[in-house]
Amino acid sequence: MRTLAAEGLRLDVGIVDYLILTLYFVTVLGIGFAARRAIKSSADFFLSGRSMPAWVTGLAFVSANLGALEIIGMAANGAEYGLMTLHYYWVGAVPAMVFLGIVMMPFYYGSKVHSVPEFLRRRFNRPTHLFNALSFALAQVLIAGVNLYALALILQALLGWPLWLSIVIGAAIVLIYITLGGLSSAIYNEVLQFFVILAGLIPITVVGLVKVGGIDGLMEKVRESPLGEAGLHTFADTASTGNPLGANWIGIIFGLGFVLSFGYWTTNFAEVQRALSAKDMSAARRTPIIGAFPKLLIPAVTVIPGLIALVTVKGLGAENGDLVYNNAIPLLMRDLLPNGVLGVAVTGLIASFMAGMAANVSGFNTVFTYDIWRAYIRKDRDDAHYIRVGRIATIGGVLVGIGTAFIAAGFSNIMNYIQALFSLFNAPLFATFIVGMFWKKMTPWAGFWSLLLGFLASLTLYIGHLTDVFHFNSDLEESFWGAGAAFLTAVVVAVVVTIVTRGTSKSDDELRGLVYGLGGQSTSSDVIISGEKVWWRNPVLLGTVALVLAVVLYIPVW
């Protein structure tokens, strides 16, 4: 095994690798120029005219999540925490994706909202709407910075450029095609990127497994690593916190599997936006469920390479330098792949970071334009004005993302940073959402205060963790409990404030289509329970199959 700290991360790329990468960039920009011709209105720019088929939106839905969090972050987690990282997929994603498709999409799509904050405005009030719009915009540029930082790492390794120049170049590429073609450009590129990402990661996994002697050889080497036997199990050691993740099953199931997971997948507009672009209600509901099936198998090309890096890269896990966990995938690329294949892998990684950043930026420009600019700054302007503002917001979001990329650079494992953001922003939002959706008596001000105080509860735990006021076994354990605290605080506040302000509840007519039990033609309980008339496209059936598969996959690694 080579010690890489002295040699750096520079990849030995050849002319074939550069040609593959150049072809990809030309294709991406070509899609942007082609999508530009279809932009006739703001709905076309921000929601693709609500014309996309389910298979396109489903692949875009999962591809939008295949950014730095998924590739770099999950591989880093695989190296640091072992197979317990699988919880982020089979407990921490699939159930929430199914719930979004079956239960929540009828409300989102049927109410014809442009964004998640707009739904909150209709359900609660303008202060709730403004707080969520601002916090979402902030979260998106912070997460965009993570994807941009990861993209810059690859460009730095590929070309030897300084990190700042790599960040600027990476940002410029995403900026061009989103500014040109809006959401349509992002979605079509995400479908392309889904396949390019797999083409890049599969060779790393296959060659790595061959090098370590297959699955059996990998398991044996993991047992000999600092992780030990515990790194090969998911629930076996969770009765206490004596496991690599430092979390018990309550934190995993409630904090990650319920609050963090449902909070992210059901209320994160960067994901929901893909389903809102679907051509009809049925396609919108199937979008996240279609995405759940590849989500079940993606650990094979993220977590497994992380374990391979753990047992083949000497010294991996340093606090800084080339041997931090975040570099697990780039180190494997450099060690394992020949020219040509290396070009495909580099292109796949760049595609993943561009997909993640594009999702953040397209979500940011929509919320900024519709929920901040149009709602509070410039009302009743013509459609061309809002398209122009959307393009300017795209530029602004990318520029801020460049700055936040340097924040991400300060974390040795970016998953820790991402999960902290989710516990702060998504967990209280999910609590406010779910209570307001199923309890029609919840008042407008209960929505605002539950959202705000839930956020502050999570922030208090996070600051306490950083200052050693509260002790947690790991940063991820803190995010689990921070999410739980945010959720419980938001629920309690929602009930208490509703009791105090019960005279201000909205009428049934105002809530029709926004609350369970008060649905119209598209959001009634019958629509939620029923599905597509063609049996094999029924969202309930498809969702059930996905959940069963998630349970079955756990059995060998329990």
Question: Do the Cβ atoms of 125 and 445 come closer than 8 Å?
Answer: yes
Distance CA 472, CA 462 (A): 10
65 vs 259, 269, 404, 468, 480, CA distance in Å? 18, 12, 19, 32, 20
User: For 337, which DSSP code?
Assistant: P
Say what the pLDDT of residue 7 is: 47
DSSP states along 261-321 = HHHHHHH-HHHHHHHHTBSSHHHHHHHHHHHHHHHHHGGGGTHHHHHHHHHHSTT---SSS
What's 450-503 look like in SS3?
HHHHHHHHHHHHHHHHHCCCCCCCCHHHHHHHHHHHHHHHHHHHHHHHHHHCHH
Nearest to 304, CA basis, from 77, 551, 547? 77
Close Cβ partners of 210 (under 8 Å, ≥ 6 residues apart): none
Q: CA 137, 294, 69 angle in degrees (round to 5)?
A: 35
Say what the pLDDT of residue 493 is: 96
Say what the pLDDT of residue 413 is: 63
Q: Phi and psi at residue 278, in whole multiples of 5°?
A: -65, 160
Identify the bridge partners of residue 278 per DSSP, sorted by sequence position: 52
Q: Is 52 helix (H, G, I), strand (E, B) or coil?
A: strand
Q: Phi and psi at residue 465, in whole multiples of 5°?
A: -65, -45
Distance CA 486, CA 130 (A): 19
Q: Is 323 helix (H, G, I), strand (E, B) or coil?
A: coil
User: Alpha carbon 417 to chain centroid distance?
Assistant: 13
Say what the pLDDT of residue 533 is: 64
Identify the burial level of 333 via C-beta atoms within 10 angstroms of its C-beta, where 0-12 means exposed, 13-18 middle and 19 or more buried: buried
Question: Do the Cβ atoms of 32 and 177 come closer than 8 Å?
Answer: yes
Say what the pLDDT of residue 1 is: 31
Say what the pLDDT of residue 502 is: 86
Distance CA 382, CA 42 (A): 10
Mean pLDDT, the chain cut into blocks of 10 residues (558 residues total): 44 82 83 74 67 85 75 85 89 92 84 82 92 89 80 71 76 77 73 84 91 91 86 80 77 80 81 84 90 92 92 80 81 84 81 76 86 89 87 87 78 71 85 90 95 94 88 80 90 96 87 75 54 73 93 89
Distance CA 301, CA 304 (A): 6
The string over 69-97, giving b where at least 16 C-beta atoms fall within 10 Å of a residue's C-beta and e elsewhere, is bbbbbbbbbbbbbbbbbbbbbbbbbbbbb
pTM for this one? 0.81
